[in-house]
Chain A
Amino acid sequence: MNVRSQLSMIFHLDKCIGCHTCSIACKNIWTDRKGTDYMWWNNVETKPGTGFPSKWEDQEKYKGGWEKHNGTIRLKSTGKARIIPNIFHNPNMPSMDDYYEPWTYDYQNLFNAPEGPDQPTARPISMITGDYIDVESGPNWDDDLGGSSIYAKNDPNLEGLSEEQRQQLFAIEQLVFFYFPRICNHCMNPACVASCPSGALYKRGEDGVVLVDQKRCRAWRSCVAACPYKKVYYNWFTGKSEKCILCFPRVETGQAPACFHSCVGRIRYLGVILYDADRIEEVSNLPQEELIEGQRSLILDPSDPHVIEEARKNGIAESTIKSAQNSPSYKFIKEWKIALPPHIEYRTLPNLFYVPPMSPVIAEQKAGGLDSITEDLFHDISSSRIPMKFLANLFGGGQEGKVSYALRKQKAVRWYRRAVTVGDVSMELAERMLKEANCTIEEAQEIYELTSLCTFEDRFVIPPAHREEAVEALKDPLEHKQSTGFGFLTGPKRGM
Chain B
Amino acid sequence: MGNYLDYLLFAVLPYVAVGTLLLVSIQRYRSETFTFSSLSSQFLENKKHFWALVPFHYGILVITLGHLAAFLTPRTILLWNSHPLRVAVLEVSALACGILTLIGLFAMVARRASNSKLRVVTSPIDTVLVVMLIVQVALGVWIAVAHPWGSSWFAASLTPYLRSLFTMSPDISYVTSMPLMVKLHIINAFLVVGLFPFTRLVHVLVIPNPYLWRKTQVVRWYRGDNA
Contact = CB atoms under 8 A, between A and B. Distances in A.
> Is there a direct interface between A and B, measured as CB atoms under 8 Å apart in the complex?
yes
Interface of A: 80-81, 83, 87-90, 93-97, 101, 126, 128-129, 131, 189-190, 193-194, 196-199, 201-206, 214-221, 224, 234, 236-240, 280, 315, 466-467, 470, 488, 490, 492-496
Majority DSSP secondary structure for residues of A touching B: loop
B35 A495 contact: yes
B44 A194 contact: no
Contacts of B217: 189-190, 193-194, 203, 280
B35 A96 contact: no
A221 B43 CA distance: 9
B45 A95 contact: yes
A199 B219 contact: no
A190 B215 CA distance: 13
Given A88-B53, A89-B49, A190-B217, A495 B200 contact: yes
Interface string B40-77: 11111110011001101110000000000000000000
Nearest to B214: A199
B4 interface: no
A319 to B, nearest CB: 14
A221 B208 CA distance: 12
Interface in B197-215: 198-200, 202-203, 206, 208, 210-212, 214
Contact of B125 (A93, A194, A467, A496): A496
Contact of A95 (B43, B56, B223): B43
Nearest to B218: A202
Contacts of A97: 46
Nearest to A194: B216
Contacts of B167: none
B116 interface: yes
- Size range of the chain B interface in the assembly: 35 or more
A189 B218 CA distance: 10
B47 to A, nearest CB: 8
B206 A218 contact: yes
B38 A239 contact: yes
28 contacts: A80-B212, A83-B208, A89-B49, A89-B53, A93-B42, A126-B117, A128-B120, A190-B217, A193-B217, A194-B216, A202-B218, A202-B219, A203-B217, A204-B221, A205-B222, A215-B33, A217-B37, A218-B37, A220-B208, A234-B40, A236-B121, A240-B37, A492-B34, A493-B32, A495-B35, A495-B37, A495-B202, A496-B198
A111 to B, nearest CB: 26
The 9 closest A-B pairs by CB, nearest first: A197-B208, A495-B35, A205-B221, A239-B37, A95-B46, A239-B39, A88-B57, A202-B218, A197-B211
Contacts of B43: 93-96, 221, 224, 234, 236
B121 A221 contact: no
B36 interface: yes
A220 B203 CA distance: 10
B75 to A, nearest CB: 29
A493 to B, nearest CB: 6
Residue among B43, B44, B199, B208 with most chain A CB within 10 A: B43
Residue among A80, A189, A197 with most chain B CB within 10 A: A197
A244 B34 CA distance: 19
Contact of B223 (A199, A240, A315, A490): A315
Contacts of B39: 219, 239, 494-495
Residue among A189, A199, A201, A237 with most chain B CB within 10 A: A199
Contacts of A194: 216-217
